[in-house]
Amino acid sequence: MKKPIALTVNGVSEEVYVEEHWTLLEVLRDQLGLTGAKDGCSAGECGSCTVLIDGQTQLACLTLAVECIGQSITTIEGLAVKGEMIPLQRAFVEHGAIQCGFCTPGMILSAHALLEKNPRPSEEQIKKALAGNLCRCTGYVKILEAVQATAGGSGD
């Protein structure tokens, strides 16, 4: 039986009717039409469903929607400011860090969460922050370059 829950997604209050076993990924994609978070594995292994919940990276495929009541959810669609890409998103484009694009939303959200906490991360800190996100196209070099460019170089 579906029950109504209130969620805050990308700064907007939403009321959706969900089954208690539905994941946040299902609700975002199927109920709210936010398709940036991808269903790559449904097992928490690939990171393509990464979102931010209260500023922390979370795998939407492993998070029940009912667990998100009262929390702020940010998807890739919510990063743009007045319809413009943030510098991190532009860096991914400019540095060729996007190939098929399937992993890109999760990569960007993971990097964004890192940069919010540490604006000048070292290369190792960037690698650690992105470790839960798999890319089958780029080999990670361009992704790392894009994050480093946004951070203005590497820190300690």
The verdict on 7 and 72 lying in the same domain is: yes
CATH code at 74?
Answer: 3.10.20.30
The reported pLDDT for the residue numbered 139 is 80
The reported pLDDT for the residue numbered 85 is 96
The verdict on 45 and 112 lying in the same domain is: no
The verdict on 100 and 126 lying in the same domain is: yes
User: Does a structural domain hold residue 122?
Assistant: yes
Q: What does the radius of gyration of the chain's CA atoms come to, in whole angstroms?
A: 15
CATH code at 91?
Answer: 1.10.150.120
Question: Would you write out the chain's pLDDT as a tens digit for each of its 156 residues?
Answer: 999 999 999 999 999 999 999 999 999 999 999 999 999 999 999 999 999 999 999 999 999 999 999 999 999 999 999 999 999 999 999 999 998 999 999 999 999 999 999 999 999 999 999 999 999 987 899 999 999 999 975 444
d(CA 107, CA 115): 12
d(CA 78, CA 49): 14
User: Does a structural domain hold residue 129?
Assistant: yes
The verdict on 73 and 111 lying in the same domain is: no
The verdict on 20 and 46 lying in the same domain is: yes
The verdict on 11 and 59 lying in the same domain is: yes
The reported pLDDT for the residue numbered 154 is 45
Question: Helical H runs in the chain?
Answer: 24-26, 87-94, 104-117, 123-130, 141-151
User: Does a structural domain hold residue 156?
Assistant: no
Quote the pTM value: 0.94
The parent domain of residue 139 ranges over 87-151
The reported pLDDT for the residue numbered 153 is 56
Task: Say how many domains are in the chain.
Answer: 2
The reported pLDDT for the residue numbered 21 is 97
The verdict on 8 and 66 lying in the same domain is: yes
